[in-house]
Structures are given as C-alpha cells and as structure tokens.
Amino acid sequence: MDYPYSLGPYGRTVTTMSADAQRWFDRGLNWCFGFHHEEAIACFEKATQADPDCAMAH
C-alpha cells in the first residue's frame, strides 16, 4: 500500500486481525498527535474499511 508520508515507527497495537487496519490506525494516531485531524480522520476511515470491527478506528 503506497502512502506518500513517512510518519515514523510509533504505533499502538489494537484488536484487529487485519494488518491494513492496524497500519491505517497507526497512521491516523500519528496524524492526531501531529494535530492534522483531517488526515487522521481519513486514515481512521480507511482502517474501518479494512476491518469494520476494529473499535479503536471508530
């Protein structure tokens, strides 16, 4: 999955079986910490598309 931004290694493990959902959640979390909330929302939405049962992405 191509993503134009390198956000560093920070991540938080969430309950999901989908590697894509985890990846998008981590990106969204990094954008939240970076105060770019619009991009964070877009990443969290992609995480929920990859795994609709991932509660943290909601």
pLDDT in tens, 7-52: 888 899 999 999 999 999 999 999 999 999 999 999 999 999 999 9
Which residue in this structure is represented by tokens 């134009």?
4
Q: Is the pLDDT of residue 1 over 70?
A: no
pLDDT of residue 58: 94
Contacts 24+ apart (CB under 8 A), 28-36: 28/57, 31/7, 34/7
pLDDT of residue 16: 96
pTM confidence score: 0.90
pLDDT of residue 24: 96
